Amino acid sequence: MKGKESPTGPVPVKIERDQGIATLTIQNPPFNVLTSAVVDALADATVALSEDPSVRCIILTGSGDRAFSSGANIKEMAGMSLDEARRYSAKGQALTNLIERSPVPVIAAVRGFCLGGGCEISLACDFIVASEDAVFAQPEINIGVLPGWGGSRRLTRAIGVARARHWILTGEKVPAEVAMRDGLVDRVVPSGKVLDEARSLARVLASKGATAVAAAKYAVNYASDATRLLGLEYERDLWGVLFQTEDQKEGMRAFLEKREPHFSDRTGWAAQRERSPWKEQYGAYEEAKKEMGVDSNGHSPNLVPFFEIWQRTSRELMNSMLDVSLSTATSYQELVERAWSAATATYRIPTRQP
């Protein structure tokens, strides 16, 4: 069903209110693709509802039963430059930050596909209620990129390093029951009951003290990952760099042409890594090879002093960590605020009064 027409065209997001519970519905059928217009509308609606003192809980869902959202618009992204890609990533991160930082609890009611940017939006919500036929995935690797709207950070926080690594590096689709077992989904219900279950949970949340709910939400977010905003800039940098690669162009072109991609090998990797955001990590890898005495053939003839090397390296690493902690203790809040301001520059930050 098409969104209601406005003077400027279809309305990409519908807002419904019922006794303190607001429902946001993405209206871009059949798969609720997250075009720039949809992202802007979601951000505007999130800010408006977060600042409305009558709203006690938000439900976010997709129109129809085929998809919560199948992700961002590949056509919009395919030809982006590095700077355009970073701005696009910043925009998506700003939206997910707004959802996560809203003082109002947000429930994702998911039916059908919840992929890519759609999955990243659901990750920013406080609860996910999913239908039995819901499917989750971070499939960006299949088109030559990685999650760029906070997914690498939030998914790892939600389900742990091992499972997040599997989701992101394979791009596999994950059924709702498995997503719940992994710790992402709060509950799985029959398809026709998703919104009813989300509303039932919303009524429970709306019955609590609004100020206490907001404080509890912030406390849990801080306890789970106090530095979560600082990791988003690195994700954004990596996202932008990948738009300079042939694999990104081939992956997105193959997707639009509905064929299998033919990715390249690591030709040019040595030159690429020198100007990439991960160069320090790769440098650490090279340094580790030297300390272990690994030669160009991958052999390590110096295994005898391994324990001594390990002890020295561990001490140096610990001392370095202590130095960093001491040197940044007084400016940590400044770093957090700077990262947050950069990620949310596109939108206003909610300043809702309790």
Give the sheet arrangement for strand 135-137, strand by strand.
Answer: 67-69, 113-115, 135-137, 174-175
Cβ neighbours for 117, distance < 8 A, ≥ 6 positions apart: 34, 69, 71, 72, 92, 149
How many other C-beta atoms lie within 10 A of the C-beta of residue 29?
16
Query: Distance between CA 150 and CA 235 in Å, rounded?
Result: 7
Which residues is 189 bridged to in the sheet? 131
The identity of residue 15, as a single letter, is I
CB 176 within 8 A of CB 130: yes
**Which pLDDT band holds residue 352 (cuts at 50, 70, 90)?**
very low
Regarding predicted confidence, which is higher, 205 or 335? 205
**Which pLDDT band holds residue 170 (cuts at 50, 70, 90)?**
very high
Collapsing DSSP to helix, strand or coil, 308 comes out as helix
Query: Distance between CA 301 and CA 224 in Å, rounded?
Result: 43
Place of tokens 């997709």: 62
Query: Distance between CA 214 and CA 21 in Å, rounded?
Result: 15
Instruction: Provide the annotated active-site residues.
Output: 120, 140
Q: What is the largest CA-CA distance in the chain?
A: 76
Q: Is the pLDDT of residue 193 over 70?
A: yes
Q: Is the pLDDT of residue 208 over 90?
A: yes
Both tokens of residue 236? 């954004």
The mean pLDDT value for 323-343 works out to: 45
Collapsing DSSP to helix, strand or coil, 184 comes out as coil
Q: Is the pLDDT of residue 311 over 70?
A: no
Q: How far apart are the first and last CA of the chain?
A: 37
Cβ neighbours for 328, distance < 8 A, ≥ 6 positions apart: 335
| Domains, the chain, with CATH or none | 1-354 (3.90.226.10)
- pTM for this entry: 0.74
pLDDT of residue 191: 87
Q: Is the pLDDT of residue 285 over 90?
A: no
What confidence tens digit (pLDDT) does each residue in 71-109 have? 999 999 888 888 888 888 888 888 898 898 888 999 999
pLDDT of residue 328: 45
